Homo-oligomer: A and B are copies of this chain.
Amino acid sequence: MPRSSTRQHIVEVASDLFYRNGYNRTGINEVIAESGIAKATLYNHFRSKDEICIAYLQYKHEVFVKDIKAYCDTRPANGRQVLAIFDFLEAFFQDRDFNGCWCIKTVAEIPREDERIRKEIQKQKNQLINFIESLLMDIKDEDERRDTARQIYLLYESAVSESHLHQADWPITSAKAIASKIIG
């Protein structure tokens, strides 16, 4: 296996385990056993478990952005296109691998001082707000567009967390209904 795909393979396996079972409850030994690689190989690609955590967050975000963009692209580019993000979430929720927001989960597990991870997560959330804003180009006033994007972002985030917490999809339909009201 070429070096770059070994790294990628580790990231994918670790991501699955971290997301499913939690970062602290997934040991390095589990990652290497599941990856079928030696421990020294893992530490040849990553300096520490922390570094794998960053790669995990980036990988989840990368896949998420790709998927949600592709999903929204199938809808007509009008003022209501943004509502597609809730339909995307509904599909994600129905998937048996759904386990809430990786950012929120990870932030709860790491020490508060870990600035690298905190910054990465804030970056991801800001990119999501920007993406939502890009779907709201019907709104000509820049401040209003930004405000609306933030509001829909809040609803989306809530829908993710709460559908996971309650193990039910009413938060998704409810959030979508509010978003629909907001964009008029």
A48 interfacial contact with B, CB 8 Å: no
Interface mask (A155-184 → B, CB under 8 Å = 1, otherwise 0): 101110110011000110011011001100
Cβ 8 A contact of A165, one of B122, B150, B170, B174: B122
A2 interfacial contact with B, CB 8 Å: no
B165 and A158 within 8 A (CB):
no
Q: A104-B104, A154-B171, A158-B157 are contacts. A125–B165 as well, Cβ < 8 Å?
A: yes
B157 and A161 within 8 A (CB):
yes
Q: Is the interface of A mostly helix, strand, loop or mixed?
A: helix
A165, chain B: closest CB distance, angstroms: 7
A109 interfacial contact with B, CB 8 Å: yes
Q: A165-B125, A178-B151 are contacts. A24–B24 as well, Cβ < 8 Å?
A: yes
A104 and B174 within 8 A (CB):
no
A76 interfacial contact with B, CB 8 Å: no
CA distance A25 to B114 in the complex (A): 14
Closest to A153 in B: B162
Q: A24-B109, A109-B24 are contacts. A147–B125 as well, Cβ < 8 Å?
A: no
A105 and B108 within 8 A (CB):
yes
Cβ 8 A contact of A158, one of B21, B155, B170: B155
CA distance A128 to B43 in the complex (A): 46
Cβ 8 A contact of A108, one of B22, B150, B182: B22
28 contacts between A and B (CB under 8 A): A22-B109, A25-B111, A103-B165, A104-B104, A104-B108, A104-B161, A104-B165, A105-B108, A108-B108, A108-B109, A109-B109, A121-B165, A122-B165, A151-B178, A154-B155, A154-B158, A154-B171, A154-B174, A154-B175, A154-B178, A155-B155, A155-B178, A157-B158, A157-B161, A158-B158, A161-B161, A178-B178, A181-B182
